[in-house]
Structure 1
Amino acid sequence: MHAVRTLGAMLFAVIGAIGTARAADGSVRFDESSKTFRLDAAKVTYAFGVDDKGQLQSLYWGPRLGVSDRLSAAVAPAPGDAIDGNINRVRQEYSGWGSGLYYEPGVKITFPDGNRDLVLHYVSHSIKGSILSVVLKDIERAILVTLEYEIDADTGIVRRSATITNRTSTPVIVEQANAATWFLPRSRDYTLRFLSGRWAAENSVNERPVQPGKTVLESRRGTTGMQNAPWFAVRRNDANETQGQVWFGSLAWSGSWQIAVEQDQIEQVRISGGFNPFDFGYKLDAGASLATPSFYAGVTTDGIGEASRLMHRLELTKILPQAPNPRLRPVLYNSWEATEFKVDEPGQIALAEKAASIGVERFVMDDGWFGARNTDKAGLGDWVVNRQKFPNGLKPLIDRVHVLGMDFGLWVEPEMVNADSDLYRAHPDWILHMTGRPRTEGRNQLVLNLARADVRAYLFDALDKLLSENDIAFLKWDYNRSWSEPGWPEVAPDQQKNVYVDFIRNYYGILEKLRKKHPKIEIESCSSGGGRIDLGVMHLTDEVWTSDNTDAFDRLRIQDGFTQAWTPAAMMAWVTDSPTWVNNRALSLEYRFLSSMQGSLGLGANLNKWQPQDFATARRLVAEYKAMRKTVQQGRLYRLISPQGGSEQSATESVSADRAHAVLFAFLHSSTEKYPYPTVRLQGLDPDAKYRVRAIKGKFDERTPTTASGAYWMNAGIDLLLRGDFQAAALAFDEE
């Protein structure tokens, strides 16, 4: 159908046979007698059904029920009062805006005759492998909505999406389209957790009580954005990091999005998400369909930490491009902070030689290699090698990088253009703009209208040529500004708002086509730091850039927030120079390494300024990281001490999938009044196994046994000898 629809279908592997999937693999069942659907997997049951009026009702979402437990939607809820009406008491799985509905609808449509009433009733369903499809139709007009459900066998996370099809004879305008609405049990006992931020300060963890009214998390920027992440968690008020019931979810969409958390007058909590309805109006021609993003959500009784680990597992086994066995992220070096725009062949080769000497596996040349690119004011859009800087093209540099035992990567920013560029001079109409209005620049650049077929073709051809002519293993795909004036004057006025969907479809389409034609290419999603991180882009890119802020202390909080929703396997973390431009704070090289070793390790320091002892330290810690990276990137993460709220301490632990290895990272901001560092109690080990502890960096109490049971490390714990300012330690635990 459309690229967005194809993407949603790709995100889960098909299991079982047509009909009911095996319970062990994730069961999808329909009970004809009670007209109920039930999805069971891992520790979760999700159920909904058809009532006697043909409405699709949510019935249950929580810990797994018994096989023989019956649920029924046969009768609609008791009538409401005259003010709120009956329809608002029905827990509709997917509602049209109509018939007196007051809360957030699944879909809102305007018809050519001015009618805006839409009432959806059940028509049919099908089960194909692990995928359940349910068809709804308006009670009078030929508008169909196909709901798709799939439950992940390992995590119990449910994927939902909706496809709206216009089978009338005229176009309609879709003014709102959500992927799903999730219902929680009626209660006042909820706290919402979400992520907010800005440039250089992404992923702040926030909490607020769920109260009557609506909390909106969103981006109106045309892209995922930093101001909110498309992720939520709602916990019972007594739940915490290690225990208690938590519902959580994440949208797979890289454009403008919205998640709304509502509590109504009868204390019903519902969470809906999909395209942002602000400035939205998708013209849906007769016979055409519009697919929403996929919305993933899960539930656990084991706290916020387990909610994160379930999302990490889903991302590793179902979302990332190489799932279920994604490649370990190589240690990379990026040239930006060493050279900025002043790149040339001799200078990059000199950096590559230094990077190879400490064990780097991937050398990435950043901005400045193309067009007339000497500052950020020119050259974007002209993806041809600058022959003044590279007289013989990129091949001599790439060949030298390969001789040094590394693969080669390159920075690009395809969706942007400078006004001072050959591309803009030739095609000023190719950018997002509104006729007769100013063309606002950000970072001296404009946004290409990727919704246009000719722009999509140009960008694919330019990148394809670059990859075909050069042995490039990696693209750092940047995106350095939000949208403004999102007009599309070349199409009819009633079609211009399609840009919000068609732009992202074409972005995904380029990524898909490049990966298909160049199957060895790996891609990083970057957007002035963490401005484009979501499950949609993560399905098509191998890693994401967490933040432009590489201050190793600030990164403890940023990375803690990141791991609420996203796997450390995709979390790029660089060791850069100290002090950084961010805070002018001086931190030791070892501290900077240990902070970055909690994710996918990279280096961005100016190696031309390093001393011999710096290279020796880096060489040792890069080797240590390579020994532990499978555990860090693909193991189970336990956030033992949170850095949030101005905490003086921070500690994380990663445990390998087989529980044979663990690595502990601990950080101290400042010791005060001779108080010792808190005893650290590990989690997730095999209580009956014996583990030997080894200090990678730092010391622990001399009375600590070198070998003890998992039960000992988890209950008695370990006392680290951390004193002073900005101190760090790392310990390895290996099963004997």
Structure 2
Amino acid sequence: MQISFSKKNKTFRLDTENVSYVMMIGPAGELRHLYYGAALGKDDDLSGFAHRFDRAFSPYPEGLTPDDSLNIACLEYTAFGSGDFHNAAFALRKENGTAVTSAVYKSHVVTKGKAPLPGLPASFAPEKEVQTLEITLADSFSGAEIVLRYSIFADSDVIARSVKIVNPTGQTIRIEKLMSAELDFDSASFDMLYLQGKWARERHAFRTPLQPGMQGFRSARGSTGHQYNPGVVFAAKNASELHGDVYGMLLLYSGSYAVEVEVDEYESTRAMLGINRENFTWNLNPGEEFNSPEALLIFSANGFGGLSAQSHAFLMNHVIRSPWKHVKRPILVNNWEATYFDFNDDKIYDIAKAASKLGIEMLVLDDGWFGKRNDDRSSLGDWFVNTEKLGDFSKLVKKINRLGMKFGLWFEPEMISEVSELCKAHPDWVLSVPDAPRSIGRTQMVLDMSRKEVVDYLFETISGILHSANIEYIKWDMNRNLTEIHSAALPPEQQGEVAHRYVLGVYDLHERLLKEFPNLLIEGCSGGGGR
């Protein structure tokens, strides 16, 4: 792996064993995308790839020529409103109301290692096995700095990307769009492959030729959802499982996202993915910074099989941190379909006893063990044991452990029932718009995970249960999506931050629980694969 910069040609090169990625500083200081694909020779000069010819109705920077128009260039990260009429990767609004932006090269630095993304999942590796390039672009309109981050790994051809917006000015800057990665092609001769589905029928592959205009998909649910996966593949027309050029883009994010693809009238393609800009804004105060979720770029010259193999290896080795990642999961029995809400400690123990004789290794106690939960209309948020059903909970767990079985427990931490002790005490903890109707899903509402006190409450109650008995597994469910996304804790000008802050709250709760219980296995359930 190597990251290099040519002062002569003003080009950046990222080289892994099988892949090269090349950018160049353009005549107006813009960062141009030159090449991404199979590994290049050491002496290959791609600066000529940046040349374009004048196209009608394409303005150009003052003092330059029509051939220098941003509208005809393959760019690395596109500003809004300053000469490129294609889809922009970011939009920032100043206090004076303008949303016009620019992205002009300011500086760069190459470092060993890779810093974590605060509050967000991200890839990792030992310092000697990863290099990171940070390119700082300046927005002359708002004064903001846009930091593009690229990391390459010694044992992989995957490129990890993210973006940081820094506000060094004395005024508040409003982020209205921030994509994690942009990828431009000077061709549209690709098929787009994506995974579509629905509840109980997730991840069915669709392959369709790129068409002129905008195409893509997104989630506005506050989670990734069953409907689409937050990734996209661009494949050469002849690509198959075993051969052909294939490009993948994958977003490491659990909230509302968007995949946007545009093919222009000259058959150039621009693809990007990141946080869904619908109902997203972020007020960046002086001295603050904001980090996008991380995106992964994957290229394979060996078809879809090569792409899959790279993706699987990278996620296993550089994204998943759990001590369980190389361990076979225990075979489990879950009581839900057998009992629904109608159970007691004796019935649960009988299920475990019968299962243990079949070699089953863990019993998971599902919905209905807490509060006054005898149906699906109450008690979500009341995370204390229903002793009328289960008696001495720790005694039950010990009995099941003596059968040689592990014990797991169901939670739905992000939800709240209107009929609950928690809702009586904190009705303002519900995501809802003041003096307006609320939506109900599965007879439940959504907790405002953007609030620190909500996350604190959940950590205290859930960790209290986990400390009370030998619980080695959590089934973390999410049976409805977010609506009426409004927080009683934030002022009007920050309501566009709630959905992203919600996701950060979920990540924070995960992180705190796993720090407290490092060997805990968490299954992320959402009616199946809805997250």
Q: State TM-score, norm by structure 2.
A: 0.92
What secondary structure is seen at the aligned counterpart in 1 of 2:389? coil
Letter in 2 for 1:370: F
Larger Rg: 1
Tell me the residue number matched to 1:289.
289
Tell me the residue number matched to 2:187.
187
Cα distance, 1:373–1:325 mapped onto 2, change above 3 Å: closer
Structure 2: distance between partners of 1:124 and 1:434: 44
Q: Answer yes or no: is the 8 Å Cα contact 1:35–1:73 preserved in 2.
A: no
Q: Deviations over 1:61-91 (max 9, x none)?
A: 1011112223327966333322576221122
Letter in 1 for 2:233: A
Q: Deviations over 1:412-467 (max 9, x none)?
A: 00000010111011111101111111111100000001001111111111112112
Tell me the residue number matched to 1:172.
173
Tell me the residue number matched to 2:414.
415
Cα distance, 1:340–1:144 mapped onto 2, change above 3 Å: same
Consecutive unaligned residues in structure 1, runs of 5 or more: 1-25, 533-736
Structure 2: distance between partners of 1:383 and 1:96: 47
Letter in 1 for 2:46: L
Q: Answer yes or no: is the 8 Å Cα contact 1:51–1:74 preserved in 2.
A: no
Q: Answer yes or no: is the 8 Å Cα contact 1:212–1:264 preserved in 2.
A: yes
Check if 1:401 corresponds to 2:384.
no
Deviation at 1:139, TM superposition (A): 2.3
Structure 2: distance between partners of 1:305 and 1:333: 34
What secondary structure is seen at the aligned counterpart in 2 of 1:267? coil
Check if 1:518 corresponds to 2:517.
yes
Tell me the residue number matched to 2:70.
87
Check if 1:57 corresponds to 2:32.
yes
What secondary structure is seen at the aligned counterpart in 2 of 1:203? strand
Q: Answer yes or no: is the 8 Å Cα contact 2:378–2:419 preserved in 1.
A: yes
Give the alignment's Cα RMSD to 1 decimal: 1.7
Tell me the residue number matched to 1:698.
none
Tell me the residue number matched to 2:126.
none
Tell me the residue number matched to 1:160.
161
Structure 1: distance between partners of 2:355 and 2:6: 61
Tell me the residue number matched to 1:465.
464
Cα distance, 1:291–1:76 mapped onto 2, change above 3 Å: farther
Q: Which moved more, 1:128-137 or 1:149-158?
A: 149-158
Q: Answer yes or no: is the 8 Å Cα contact 1:53–1:76 preserved in 2.
A: no
Q: Which moved more, 1:198-207 or 1:158-167?
A: 198-207
Letter in 2 for 1:530: G
Deviation at 1:57, TM superposition (A): 0.9
Tell me the residue number matched to 1:128.
111
Q: Answer yes or no: is the 8 Å Cα contact 1:34–1:74 preserved in 2.
A: no
Q: Answer yes or no: is the 8 Å Cα contact 2:195–2:206 preserved in 1.
A: yes
Letter in 1 for 2:514: R
Letter in 1 for 2:97: G
Larger RCO, structure (CA 8 Å, separation 6 or more): 2
Check if 1:37 corresponds to 2:17.
no
Structure 1: distance between partners of 2:488 and 2:216: 31
Tell me the residue number matched to 2:101.
118
Q: Deviations over 1:287-342 (max 9, x none)?
A: 21111110111111211122112111111111112379632222222221111112
Structure 2: distance between partners of 1:325 and 1:460: 24
Consecutive unaligned residues in structure 2, runs of 5 or more: 61-68, 113-130
Tell me the residue number matched to 1:379.
379
Cα distance, 1:343–1:449 mapped onto 2, change above 3 Å: same
List aligned pairs for 1:99-248, cutoff 5 A. 99-129=82-112, 130-184=131-185, 186-248=186-248
Q: State TM-score, norm by structure 1.
A: 0.67
List aligned pairs for 1:607-626, cutoff 5 A. none
Structure 2: distance between partners of 1:439 and 1:69: 60
Deviation at 1:96, TM superposition (A): 1.8
Q: Answer yes or no: is the 8 Å Cα contact 1:171–1:285 preserved in 2.
A: yes
Letter in 2 for 1:78: F
Cα distance, 1:74–1:297 mapped onto 2, change above 3 Å: closer
Tell me the residue number matched to 2:121.
none
Letter in 1 for 2:52: P
Structure 2: distance between partners of 1:383 and 1:472: 15
Structure 1: distance between partners of 2:334 and 2:281: 41
Structure 1: distance between partners of 2:489 and 2:515: 31
Q: Identity across aligned pairs (percent)?
A: 34
Q: Answer yes or no: is the 8 Å Cα contact 1:49–1:73 preserved in 2.
A: no
List aligned pairs for 1:326-475, cutoff 5 A. 326-392=326-392, 394-475=393-474
Structure 1: distance between partners of 2:324 and 2:472: 21
Deviation at 1:278, TM superposition (A): 1.0
Deviation at 1:156, TM superposition (A): 0.6
